[in-house]
Amino acid sequence: MYLDSDRRPTLTPQLAFRVALIGGVALVAFAVVFFRLWYLQVLSGDKYRAEANNNRVREIKVHAPRGEIVDRQGRPLVDNRTGLAVKVTPDRLPGDQGRRQQLYRRLGKVLGIAPARMNRAVERQLKTLPFSSATIKQDVPLPVVSYLLEHQDEFPGITVERVFLRQYPHHQTGAHLFGTVGEVTKEQLKDQRYRGVGLGDRVGQSGIEYQYDRFLRGRNGASRVQVDAMGNLKGELSVRQPQQGRQLRLSIDLDVQRVGQRALGGGTGRGAFVVMNVQNGEVVALGSQPSYDPNVFAKVIKASDYRRLSKPENGAPLSNRATQGLYPTGSTMKLITATAALEGGQITPDTVQFDGGSLRVGGVTFKNAGGAAHGALALRQALTVSSDVFFYRLGLEMNGAGNGLLLQSWAHRLGMGRRTGIDLPGELPGLIPSPHWRDRLYKKKLTDRPWTPGDNINLAVGQGDLQSNPLQLAVAYATIANGGKVLSPRIGMRIEDAGGRALQELQAPAARRLKLKPEFRQAILEGLRGAASAPGGTSAAVFKGFPIPVAGKTGTAEKGAGRADQSWYVALAPFPSPKYVVAVTDEAGGFGADTAAPMARTILAELFGVKNDEGSTGGGPSD
C-alpha cells in the first residue's frame, strides 16, 4: 500500500467564504480610493487649484478715514489729518536675532521708545496680522522721519507711511459732545454693532463718535500681496482703496457752544449747560466743565493721562455733567412743584398762601433764604420772588395719604429722575426720592431714618436727596413752554455724503404728550417772566435792559458740610412764545442770580445775536 505524499487538503466552504469576503472588502476599498481620487482630481480639480493659488495671496488691510462731523451750518467740528507713522516691514527685518535687537536699540534712541517694549509691540501685531506692517509709533515729527529716511541703510525693514488720525480742531470746546475714538476691544468685537470690524480698527468709544460710529466708520481698503511657500513676501498684486465714512451734521451751533463753554469757564470751573429748541428737541449747545482735549485720544492714550482725566480731585474731566450730573436743583424745581399742585387740584393760580418767613413742621423750622418774609401771595408772585415757604406748604400738602406720590409722579412725567433719551451714551437717570425708596433703604439699614414729611418739603424746593442734571431740567421747562410735549433731545440731524448732500435724516423718537391746562401753563410762565423782569424778581437785575424778553428761574442748592452752594438758572426765551430753553449750573457758584443767571444771559445774547451789555448781578434774598 503506497502513501500519496503530494496530496493537499481540499478547499473547504468556510475557507472559500473567507477568501471571497476578504477579496470583496479589498475590492470595495480600492474602488473607494479610486473614486475619491477621481473626484478630487477630475471633478474638484479646479476648486483645489484655486485654493492652492489663494494660499499664495494675502490681503493687507488699509484703514479708512472716518467721516467728518460738522455743525448745523456745515462748519467742521471733527475731521481727519494725515500723520506719519513709523512701521516695520517683516520681510525686510534682519533674520539674525542679535542684529534685530541692535536695530531696535538704534530705533529706540531715535523714537524715544524702550527696545523691549518695541519688540513686544511688533511681535503682538505680527502675530495678529502676519503679512502686514507693524506700527511702532504714530504721528512722528517730520525731523525724525527725515533722519530715518536719510539713514535707511542703518534701519533695514523700517518704513514710513501716511496714516489718518482723528482731529478735533476746537480742542476742549464740545469735547463731551464729540467723544473719543480708540482701538476696538475684544469684548466689542463680540457685539453685533461692530460686525465687519477687525482687530486694530479704531472705533468710536464715547460721545457722538460712539453713538453714530456705524455711519462715521469707513470701509477699509486692502492691498493683495503674493507670498511664497515659506511665507515670504514676493510682490503686490492689487490695491482696493479705502472708503471714507459718511459725514454727520449736528444740530450744534459752534458759536453758541464756544460762548457757552467760555461763560461756564468763567465761574468756579465745575458745572454744565444745555441749550435746546423747545419745539423739536434739537440741542443747540451742550457743555461740561472741566473739559479735556480729545486730541489726546487720537493716538494711543497713555494710562497716566486717562487716570488724570478720570480723577475726582481733578474734577473728573471725562464726566459729562450735563447728562451725568447728580445734583439737587434748588428753586428751579419749583416749576415742577407748581405744575403738580395745579394739575393735582391742590391750588389754583389765584390761591393765596401766607409767607411769614418760615414754616415749622414736626419740630423742624423751614425758613426762606436770607430770612425774607413775603406775606400773602399767589402762585405768580411766589415764582417771581421765589418764596420758599409757599412751596414748602405745597410739598407738605402733597405728602398726605390722599395725595400719595403726586409730586413724584409729576416730576417723573416731566422728565425728572429718568433718562431723556438723548443720542449720547452714558446718560444717568438721577433720582426722585419717594417714601418707598427711603423706607426700603431704612429697612436695609442703609439710612438713618424712614421717610418724613420734611423729605417732601425739601423735594418741593429742589433740596434733600433729589438728583438731577441740566438736561432733565431743560426737558421739564421745555414741556411747559411747548404745551405738553416731553421731548427726547437730539444732537444728530442727518447723514450726508462728502459734498454735504443729505442721505438720511435722523429722526427723534415721538414725543410723549401730557395734558396741561392752558391757564395753569400760562400762570407758571407769567411767574417766571416776573422773576426775570418785575420788581423784586430774583433775576430782574441780571436781565435789566436785555433786548430779548426772558422768563427764567434761579436756583440755589445747599450742599451743607461747609461746601459752597450750587448755582442754577433756567431761562425760556423769547417770552411769551419761547423757542429756546437754556439751563446752566455751577457746582460752587452760590446764589443762582450771582453766577448761573449771568452765564445764561451771555449764552442768550449769542443765541439771538444781540449785544450783551452786562446787567447788574445779585438777585433777591431767596436765590
- Span 158-173, average pLDDT: 86
Asked whether 622 and 372 are in contact (CB, 8 A), the reply is: yes
Residue type at position 446 = L
Instruction: Tell me which range, 43-57, 292-306, 393-407, is most confidently predicted by mean pLDDT.
Output: 393-407
pLDDT computed for residue 2 by the predictor: 46
- Span 134-146, average pLDDT: 79
E-strand stretches of 172-290:
181-183, 202-204, 221-227, 233-240, 247-250, 271-277, 283-289
pLDDT computed for residue 101 by the predictor: 82
Q: At what angle do helices 334-343 and 406-413 cross, to 10 degrees?
A: 110
DSSP per residue, 533-577: HSTT-TTTTTTTT-SS--EEEEEEE---TTPPPEEEEEEEESSSS
- Span 461-479, average pLDDT: 97
Q: Which grid coordinates are listed for 488?
A: 427726547
Residue type at position 54 = N
Distance CA(504)–CA(215), nearest Å, equals 10
Distance CA(493)–CA(377), nearest Å, equals 45
User: What's the pLDDT band for 378 if we cut at 50, 70, 90?
Assistant: very high
Distance CA(542)–CA(559), nearest Å, equals 24
pLDDT computed for residue 75 by the predictor: 95
Domains (range + CATH), the chain: 59-250 (3.90.1310.10), 254-295+317-494+502-608 (3.40.710.10)
Instruction: Identify the residue with better confidence: 82 or 520.
Output: 520
pLDDT of residue 276 exceeding 70, the answer is yes
- Span 500-528, average pLDDT: 94
Burial annotation 277-300 (CB, 10 A radius, 16+ → b, else e)? bbbebbbbbbbbbbbbebbbbbbe
Q: Which grid coordinates are listed for 126?
A: 505680527
Distance CA(573)–CA(275), nearest Å, equals 11
Q: Which grid coordinates are listed for 143?
A: 525731523
The sign one gets for the Cα dihedral 67, 68, 71, 72 is negative
Which range, of 35-39, 420-424, 584-588, averages the lowest pLDDT? 35-39
Asked whether 82 and 165 are in contact (CB, 8 A), the reply is: yes
Q: Provide the terminal-to-terminal Cα distance of the chain, rounded to the nearest Å.
A: 144
- Span 213-223, average pLDDT: 81
pLDDT computed for residue 498 by the predictor: 84
- Span 603-608, average pLDDT: 97
Instruction: Identify the residue with better confidence: 517 or 561.
Output: 517
User: What's the pLDDT band for 393 if we cut at 50, 70, 90?
Assistant: very high
Q: Which grid coordinates are listed for 352?
A: 393765596
pLDDT computed for residue 126 by the predictor: 63
User: What's the pLDDT band for 407 if we cut at 50, 70, 90?
Assistant: very high
Instruction: Identify the residue with better confidence: 184 or 459.
Output: 459
Asked whether 184 and 202 are in contact (CB, 8 A), the reply is: yes
The sign one gets for the Cα dihedral 253, 259, 263, 265 is positive
pLDDT of residue 482 exceeding 90, the answer is yes
- Span 555-584, average pLDDT: 94
How would you class 111 by CB atoms within 10 Å of its CB: exposed for 0-12, middle for 13-18, buried for 19 or more? middle
Asked whether 398 and 545 are in contact (CB, 8 A), the reply is: no
Instruction: Identify the residue with better confidence: 618 or 242.
Output: 242
- Span 467-484, average pLDDT: 98
pLDDT tens digit string along 328-360? 999 999 999 999 999 999 999 999 999 999 999
Beta bridge partners of 421: none
- Span 473-489, average pLDDT: 97
Distance CA(455)–CA(469), nearest Å, equals 20
Nearest-CA neighbor of 600 among 572, 577, 562? 572
How would you class 148 by CB atoms within 10 Å of its CB: exposed for 0-12, middle for 13-18, buried for 19 or more? buried
Distance CA(477)–CA(338), nearest Å, equals 12
- Span 174-191, average pLDDT: 87
Nearest-5° Cα angle at 237, 234 to 238: 145
pLDDT computed for residue 120 by the predictor: 73
pLDDT tens digit string along 433-457? 999 999 999 999 999 999 999 999 9
CB atoms closer than 10 angstroms to residue 144: 16
Distance CA(539)–CA(537), nearest Å, equals 6
Instruction: Please confirm whether the linkage preceding 425 is cis (ω < 30° from 0).
Output: no
Strand pairing report for 247-250 and 69-70: parallel
CB atoms closer than 10 angstroms to residue 303: 7
- Span 561-571, average pLDDT: 92
Q: Is 63 helix (H, G, I), strand (E, B) or coil?
A: coil
Q: Is 78 helix (H, G, I), strand (E, B) or coil?
A: strand
pLDDT computed for residue 231 by the predictor: 47
pLDDT computed for residue 92 by the predictor: 72
Instruction: Identify the residue with better confidence: 88 or 165.
Output: 165
Q: Which grid coordinates are listed for 519?
A: 391757564
pLDDT computed for residue 10 by the predictor: 63
Asked whether 496 and 248 are in contact (CB, 8 A), the reply is: yes
pLDDT computed for residue 345 by the predictor: 94
Phi, psi angles (nearest 5°) of residue 107: -70, -35
DSSP 12: P
pLDDT computed for residue 567 by the predictor: 97
pLDDT computed for residue 59 by the predictor: 55
User: What's the pLDDT band for 49 if we cut at 50, 70, 90?
Assistant: low
Distance CA(530)–CA(523), nearest Å, equals 11
- Span 369-383, average pLDDT: 94
- Give the mean pLDDT of the chain: 86
- Span 380-395, average pLDDT: 97
Distance CA(85)–CA(162), nearest Å, equals 6
pLDDT of residue 14 exceeding 50, the answer is yes
Which range, of 131-135, 143-147, 512-516, 535-539, averages the lowest pLDDT? 131-135
Which range, of 220-224, 287-291, 379-383, averages the lowest pLDDT? 220-224
Indicate the pTM of the whole model: 0.83
pLDDT computed for residue 3 by the predictor: 47
Instruction: Identify the residue with better confidence: 276 or 116.
Output: 276
pLDDT of residue 163 exceeding 50, the answer is yes
Q: In sequence order, which residues have a C-beta less than 8 Å from that of residue 445 and are 6 or more positions away? A: none
pLDDT computed for residue 43 by the predictor: 56
- Span 583-589, average pLDDT: 97
